């Protein structure tokens, strides 16, 4: 009997449940206004990686190839290209697979040596996908701000 009374006290009323749902919705809206949606944040981060790091990596690789006639695969800008496949010869569509170094993995809050792929058409990078990159919005915002700080360091460290 005592147990039933205690359980009744712990149960929420419909009004309590609705108030809780409204509160969560309001917090979610505030978070969305402050940080944007997860999709927007992820798009911003992958675009930064694609233009600032992958683009520079591919240019440096091409410069080395032009200079030495050798496709030396280096570890630059926190990346190492581990594979390149031609998806369509006619449209010059390629898939490049990169492995991130430990520092970049830590910044992105990913396991060490995580790999991602980039699709390029005519050597212009158009899509970057990191499997398992699904963080909450505040974490994505933290990653974006950290990348804004760290990318110039990667660039200075790796450009000759």
Q: What global pTM score does this model have? A: 0.74
What does the angle CA 102 – CA 40 – CA 129 come to, to the nearest 5 degrees? 45
Reported as a single tens digit per residue, the pLDDT across 117-159 is 999 998 789 999 999 999 988 899 999 999 999 999 989 988 7
| d(C-alpha 21, C-alpha 29), whole Å | 12
| d(C-alpha 90, C-alpha 153), whole Å | 38
Best CA proximity match to 122, nearest among 155, 158, 86: 86
* Alpha helices per DSSP H over 1-84: 2-10, 14-35, 38-48, 55-68
**Size of the chain in residues:** 160
């Amino acid at each position: 009997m005592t147990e039933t009374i205690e359980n009744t006290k712990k149960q929420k009323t419909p009004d309590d449940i609705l108030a809780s749902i409204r509160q969560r919705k309001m917090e979610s809206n505030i978070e969305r206004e402050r940080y944007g949606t997860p999709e927007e944040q992820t798009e911003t981060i992958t675009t930064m990686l694609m233009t600032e790091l992958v683009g520079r990596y591919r240019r440096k690789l091409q410069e080395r190839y032009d200079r030495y006639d050798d496709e030396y695969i280096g570890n630059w800008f926190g990346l190492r290209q581990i594979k390149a496949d031609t998806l369509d010869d006619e449209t010059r569509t390629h898939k490049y697979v990169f492995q991130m170094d430990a520092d970049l993995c830590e910044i992105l809050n990913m396991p060490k040596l995580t790999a991602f792929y980039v699709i390029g058409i005519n050597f212009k990078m158009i899509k970057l996908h990191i499997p398992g990159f699904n963080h909450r919005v505040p974490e994505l915002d933290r990653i974006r701000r950290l990348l804004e700080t760290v990318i110039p360091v990667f660039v200075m460290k790796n450009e000759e």
